[in-house]
Structure formats: structure tokens, C-alpha cells
Amino acid sequence: MSSVIETRDVSKHYGEGDTLVKALDRVSLGIAPGEFTAIVGPSGSGKSTLLQLMGGLDNPTHGQVHLANKDITQMSGRELSDFRRDHIGFIFQAYNLIPVLTAAENCEYIMLLQGVPEAERRERVYAMLERVGLAGREGRFPHQLSGGQQQRVAVARAMVSRPNIILADEPTANLDSQTGSDLLDMMHDLNRNEGMTFVFSTHDPMIMERASRLIRLKDGCIDSESEREA
Amino acid sequence: MGLTGRLAIRNLARNRRRTLLTAMIISLSLTALMFTDALIQGMTDTMVRSATRLYSGDAQIHHRDFLARQDESRVIDDPQAVLEQLAREPEVAGFAARTLAFGMVSSAANNRAVQVVGIDPEAEAGVSKIAGAMIAGDYLSEAGPVTQLLIGDRLAELLEADLGDRIVVSVNNQLSEAAEQQLFRVSGIFHLNARAMDENLAFIRLPEAQSMMGLDGAVHEIAFNMTSASLATDTSLGLWQRLSNDRWVAQGWTELMPQLATMLQLTNSSTIIAGIVLFILAGLGVINGLFMSIYERTYEFGVLLAIGTRRRQLFKLIMTEGLILALGAIVIGLILGVLLITWSASVGIDYGSMEVSGVALAEIIRPQHRFMQYSALPFWVLIMTLVACIYPAIHAARIVPAKALHKSL
Ligand SMILES: Nc1ncnc2c1ncn2[C@@H]1O[C@H](COP(=O)(O)OP(=O)(O)O)[C@@H](O)[C@H]1O
Ligand SMILES: [Mg+2]
């Protein structure tokens, strides 16, 4: 099956000489549509770097990243901006939301950039916030929401712009285990019912277990890979 | 309002104290610029009026060689024709003919070299302020005795002379080329509040002066005022041509008092320099305020860029924040400026008896409103603020999202 995103021999080096860090070393990886994949590994193993390169947030030192048969490493800054806007959903560990925008406005933001008409924007935002269990809280500002609710808004924001894939970098790391587990259930549900492709990094064993595919990183290389029936 | 505007306003509201401080830098700069301009306007006006309307007049006509050579034989020998022409000029408000003699005044106690001026009392009252500056005795009158003499209070002190005292005046007679002496009595003492005039001028009536000097109806100077003081600096007016010929020349005060004109120009240049310094300081303040707010939001900008905001859009956001800040601050600055100028104009600023290059700031200075304070100044403050925003805005737009986000990833 063709991949949503494919990395070919991707390396990322930071610094040079004595201080050279090979954050990623020749990683080749394909993500198929509908996957619910976890990237795991100890801190500093290159999880964030891999997600950033797959999402076009940074350019690799070597190698290529392909999305829909386009090499995103060849794109201009502006093309890359628009590529991220239209094809990638990002969820970070914390502080995902713009503090001065309400939950609904945070979700609306990307669609505004995309030029989605206002009526459609509102409809999609309200539907998605309801979908993640935040009906009635659309007008709240981030500081008026709990950590778990904020991450749900982040998921809704990533979903609502209809990307090809959502990349989530340790989305549960700042949450207590129950809230983290609930968030992952919700993401898993979106994966199964809406067909959204998810790649998330984590080092929480409980979270890893939900993944349909597990990629272990160690010192910037893929250490092992396993798949299981969801 | 678009999302950018909404975001910008809410971002400004986030750290109200900092926004207010940055806005105050802009507001107070504008207020300071407005007030400085108003003060300079008021001061210039007062100084020019002190210099011209006190005694000299806005403009004067002399024989072409009189001023350069200080030669009392260079006279306007047909003043009547000039006076008639002056009466026809619509921009001329008042005019008076004078004779000027370098002479000596002697009292029982002392001698002083002074300028003895022969004046036509009625016409002179339409040009200078001597009639209104009498502190003892009376102004010259046609009806009174021929021995009437006006001196300044400082000269009276130096001569130890009082009202009614005898004073011998001696001047050069142009016909006999000999000194001519005559006895006068102090009939009035004036105080123009300008040292040079209160110490060095003595006034007698024109016919007496003409006969003492052997001038036969000729005069040295015809002083006149314009309907508005600013007209005197307008060299494009036709009257300068009409009042001049190959023998005499009409000149405005900028030509007659080049040192005053130069000083006013200098004042203007120093105001401009002070204004530029103020601009730079305010600009640095704005840059500082915006940079602080941008450094705080580095992570947030990383998120905005990561989810697809173009760099140009981020640049626009910061510039919009600057624009809204500037507009708000300018409104506050304008209000403060109007209040300050209006208040200080109504109260007036008293420089006491300060003299600037021999000219007394006799009157209370009243700062003046003028259009550019409400148009050009706020415009330039707006431009300054926006220019100051460019650097922080570029900085924000250049943030590398992967680096900005690295903190938490
Ligand atoms: N912007 C950067 N500059 C320098 N070194 C970096 C940068 N980002 C990551 N690294 C280094 O690359 C390695 C991998 O980091 P990262 O991808 O963040 O690992 P993980 O997310 O698995 O903890 C680490 O050694 C880290 O210090
Ligand atoms: Mg990480």
C-alpha cells in the first residue's frame, strides 16, 4: 500500500566537529493510511526530531521526506508553510493553544488560513469540539480549561483542518495517567471511525499498548519494529 | 475585524502594564513634540513682536547707504511721496517717519552718548509702543512746548535726571557741519523693558530734530508695520518693490535684524535636532517593548508557524500590534498635547526680564496651536513607531519553529 508519508535515508545532525549530534541517522520509514503508530524510545533518542522532519518543520541533513509522491525537502519556505497548513496536523506536549484565542477560535484559525468560508468553519469547529467532548466550552480561553481539555482542543484543531496525518509529540506527557489514557482512547476512536492517520511519540508503556504499530528508536536509529492487530 | 486585528488587540491586552508603558513612551513623545513646537511658535512670535512692534517696526525704509555707513547725511529727502505710497499699500497697518542722530545728552550730573530720535508723535504711536510705555510724565504732544524730551528709565537713572529737569541735547548739523546744542526738559520717562532701548534712546519732536540737524523736511527712516507680522518676512510681496527705488530701500525685519533671524533659525534647528533625538529614544523604547513581548511568545510563534502560518502573516501580526499601539498612543498624546498647549497658553509662561540677543522677552509667552501639531507630528510619530516595529517583526517572522518548539519537545 502506498504511504502517506515516507522518509528515505533521513539523517539530522546538530552542531559540528566535537559537538556533532546525530539526532537521526539514516531512518527510512513509511506510514500507511489509517495507521495508529507509536514511536517510542528513551529521551534523546530522536523521536521529536523524526516527527519534525516528517511534518516539514525542519529540513533533514541528508535524505528525503515524501508526501503524496512530493519531496517536501525541496519545497520553498512558503510552500512548506502551506504544506503544513493543508496536510499535517500537529499536537505538541503542551502549550499547543494560542492563549488569546478561545477554544473555538483556536480550531478556526487554520481554516481561516485555508480560506474556508465562515459558516462552514463554525459548523466544523462546533461539530469537532463536540466530537472531542467539549460541547459548551467553545468560548473558553485555554487558561479556563484543564490540561486534558486543552489537549482535546489541540486534537480538535489538528483534526478540523482535515490533514492527511496527525503528528503528536508526547501528547500525554503532561497529563496524569487517567487523563492521558482517555485522550489516547479518543485519538484511537478518531483513527478507527474517521480514518485519520496518527503517529505519536511516547515513553509511557500504557500508551504504547494502544498502538497498532510500534517503532523503537535508539540513538537516532530504528532499533526494532512491531505490529499488532488493533 | 479580521483575525489578525483581533489577535493583535488581545495580544496587546495580555501584558497591560507593558503595553501602557510602551504607549506612554509614544504618547509623551508626541505631547513633548507638540508642546515644544507650540512653545517655539509662541516664543518666536513674542520675540519678533518684542523686536519689531516695540520700536523698530516690522519693516523700515532708509537711504540705500544709511545703514551701512551710519551717515546722517544719507536721507530720504522726499518723505511725503513715500508716506503717500505707504498709505496706499493694503498690507501696511501704520507708518512713521523718524530722524536718527548720534548725539549727546547732558544733565547737571552726567553725559551720555545716545541716539536722538525725532518722531511725529501721532504717527509714531501707530508703529511703536513708546506712547504706551510711559511710566512718568507724558508722551510727546504737538500742542506742548518745543523742549519736550522723552528718555528711558535707565537713561534717566544714569543721568540722575527726573521729570522737568533740564537736559542739553547736542547733535550734528548737516548744513553747518558743526555741533548744535539745545536745551530740553524731561517731559516723559518710558520703560520698554528692553535694556538697549531704555538706556540709549532719547525722543524729541520731528520738526525740532530736523531743524537742529539742518535737514529741511528730510528724514532718515520710515518705519512701518504690516497688518500681520508674518507678512514682513514674505519677500514675494510687491510692496517691497513699490517702496524702494534707486535711492531708498524698504526692508523687512529679517534683513534689518539678521542676528535675530539667525537666532530664530538656530532655535528651529535645535528644536529639530531635539525632536530627532526624542524620536530615536522613543523608537528604541518601542523596539524594546515589542522585543520583550516577542521573546515571551517565541514558543507561541513556533506553534503558529508549525500549524501553517506564513512568515509574512506573522510579520503582519506584529506590525498590526504596532499599528494599533501607535494609533491608541497617538490619540492619548494628542489629547495630552491639546490640553497642555491650551492650558499653558491660557496661563502663559513668564520669562521675567530675560533678554535674548539684546531683545527682551517683554511679554508673557503663550504657546500657540498650529495645524502641523495635529497633522505632521502625529503622522511622523506613527511612521516612527511603525519603523521601530519592523525590526522586532522581522525577528518574529524569522523564528525557526523546530528550535522554538525544542524547549518542550
Ligand atoms: N535544535 C537542536 N539543536 C541541537 N541539538 C538538538 C536539537 N534538537 C534536538 N537535538 C538533539 O538531538 C537529539 C535528539 O533529540 P530529540 O529528537 O528531541 O529526542 P527525543 O524527542 O526522543 O527526546 C538529542 O541529543 C538532542 O539534544
Ligand atoms: Mg522529544
pLDDT digits (tens, 9 = 90+) for A40-86: 999 999 999 999 999 999 999 999 999 877 899 999 999 999 999 99
The pairing of strands B221-226 and B92-106 is antiparallel
A window 121-180, beta carbon within 8 A of B = 157, 161, 169-170
Distance A85 CA to ligand 2 centre (A): 22
Backbone angles phi, psi at A32, to 5 degrees: -85, 155
pLDDT tens-digit series, residues B94-117: 999 999 999 999 999 999 999 999
C-alpha cell at B158: 544714569
Q: What are phi and psi of B57, to 5 degrees?
A: 95, 160
CA angle at B86 for the pair B80 and B88, rounded to the nearest 5°: 110
In the reported structure, the alpha carbon of residue B360 is separated from the centroid of ligand 2 by a whole-number distance in angstroms of 77
The residue among B375, B377, B389, B398 whose CA lies nearest residue B323 is B389
Beta strands B201-205 and B111-119 are parallel
Kindly list the residues from chain A whose CB atom is less than 8 angstroms away from the CB atom of residue B307: 84-85, 90, 109-110, 157
Across A162-185, average pLDDT: 93
Instruction: For chain B, give the mean pLDDT.
Output: 90
What pLDDT does residue A2 have? 79
B344 pLDDT more than 60: yes
Report which ligand 1 atom has the smallest distance to the Cα of A220.
Answer: 14
Residues in chain A closer than 8 A to B14 (CB atoms): 99-100
Nearest CA-CA partner of B309 in A194, A73, A44, A83: A83
The Cα-based distances of A119 to A122, A140, B64, B308 in angstroms read: 5, 20, 84, 21
Cell of residue B186, nine digits: 524731561
User: Which of A178-182, B166-170, B330-334 bottoms out in mean pLDDT, i.e. has the lowest?
Assistant: A178-182
- State how far the Cα of B237 lies from the Cα of B252, in Å rounded to an integer: 11
Q: Is any Cβ of chain B less than 8 angstroms from the Cβ of A112? A: yes
Torsion B337-B341-B344-B350 (CA) sign: positive
Distance CA A5, CA A70 (A): 10
Show the ligand 1 pocket: residues with CB < 6 angstroms.
A 14, 21, 23, 41, 43-49; B 403, 406, 409
Mean pLDDT of B376-381: 94
Which pLDDT score is estimated for B354? 61
Q: Which helix (H) or strand (E) holds B295?
A: helix B258-296
Task: Give percent of chain B with pLDDT exceeding 90.
Answer: 69
Tell me, rounded to whole angstroms, the distance of Cα B189 from its chain centroid: 29
Which range is least confidently modeled, A100-104, B26-30, B49-53? B49-53
- The letter for the amino acid at B130 is I
CB contact (8 A) between residue A109 and residue B307:
yes
d(CA B181, CA B171): 7
What mean pLDDT do residues B44-70 have?
A: 87
Report CB contact under 8 Å: A93, B305. Answer: no
**Which residue of A21, A167, A217 sits with most ligand 1 atoms within 8 Å of its CB, as the best mutation to test the pocket?**
A21
| Rounded-to-integer distance, Cα A53 and Cα B131, Å | 91
**B→A interface, C-beta within 8 Å:** 3, 6-7, 10-11, 13-14, 299-300, 303-313, 400-402, 405-406, 408-409
Which residue type does B258 have? P
* Least distant ligand from the CA of A41: 1
**Any chain B CB within 8 A of the CB of A224?**
no
Size of interface A-B (CB pairs under 8 A): 76
What interhelical angle do B258-296 and B376-397 show, nearest 10?
30
Q: How far is the CA of A103 from the centre of ligand 2 (A)?
A: 25
C-alpha closest to that of B202 among B152, B128, B157:
B152
Q: Which three cell numbers stand for residue B78?
A: 522726499
Surface-to-core class of residue A117, CB atoms within 10 Å of its CB (0-12 exposed, 13-18 middle, 19+ buried): exposed
Q: Which ligand is nearest to the CA of B406?
A: 1
- Which residue out of A45, A100, A110 would a mutagenesis test of the B interface target, given it has the greatest number of B Cβ atoms within 10 Å? A100
Is the CB of residue A204 less than 8 Å from the CB of residue A172?
yes
Q: Does the pLDDT at position A107 exceed 70?
A: yes
Q: If we measure between CA atoms, which residue out of A35, A34, A29, A27 comes closest to residue A11?
A: A27
Specify the pLDDT at position B349: 83
Q: What integer pLDDT is reported at residue B47 of this predicted model?
A: 80
Q: Is the dihedral of CA A69, A75, A79, A83 positive or negative?
A: positive
User: Among A82, A84, A92, whose Cβ lies nearest the Cβ of B409?
Assistant: A92
User: At CA A92, angle to CA A88 and CA A97, rounded to 5?
Assistant: 90
d(Cα B141, Cα B144) in Å, to the nearest integer?
5
Is A85 an interface residue toward B (CB < 8 Å)? yes
Query: CA dist B201 to B103, B105, B106, B151, B194, Å?
Result: 10, 10, 13, 6, 11
- pLDDT single digits (tens) B244-271: 999 999 999 888 888 888 888 888 888 8
Question: By the 8 A CB rule, do B118 and B202 touch?
Answer: no
Residue nearest to atom 27 of ligand 1 (CA): A44
* Predicted local distance difference test score (pLDDT) of residue B41: 86
Amino acid at A212: S
Pair B401, B309: CB distance under 8 Å: no
Using most ligand atoms within 8 A of CB, pick from A25, A49, A93 the residue to mutate for ligand 1.
Answer: A49
Is the pLDDT at B409 greater than 50? The verdict is: no
Locate B312 and state its grid cell: 509574512
Average predicted confidence (pLDDT) for chain A: 92
pLDDT for B358 equals: 54
> Residue A44 Cα, ligand 1 centroid: separation in angstroms?
6
Selecting from B14, B311, B405 the residue whose C-beta is nearest the C-beta of A77 gives B311
Give Cβ neighbours of residue A59 (< 8 Å, ≥ 6 apart).
A53, A73
Name the percent of chain A in helix, strand, coil, to the closest 5: 40, 25, 35
Q: Is the pLDDT of residue B351 over 80?
A: no
Query: What pLDDT shows up at residue B364?
Result: 79
Chain segment A115-159, per-residue pLDDT in tens: 999 999 999 999 999 999 999 999 999 999 999 999 999 999 999
Q: What is the pLDDT of residues B134-163, one digit of tens each?
A: 999 999 999 999 999 999 999 999 999 999
Which candidate, B103, B296, B305, B96, places its Cα nearest to that of B184?
A: B103
What is the maximal distance between C-alpha atoms in chain B? 108
DSSP H helices in B311-361: 311-347
pLDDT value at A216 more than 70: yes
This complex has an ipTM of 0.94
Judged against a pLDDT cut of 80, whether residue A103 lies above it is answered with: yes
What sign does the CA torsion over B151, B156, B160, B162 have? positive
B231: its cell numbers: 507678512
Decide if B127 contacts B73 (C-beta within 8 A): no
d(CA B72, CA B259): 24
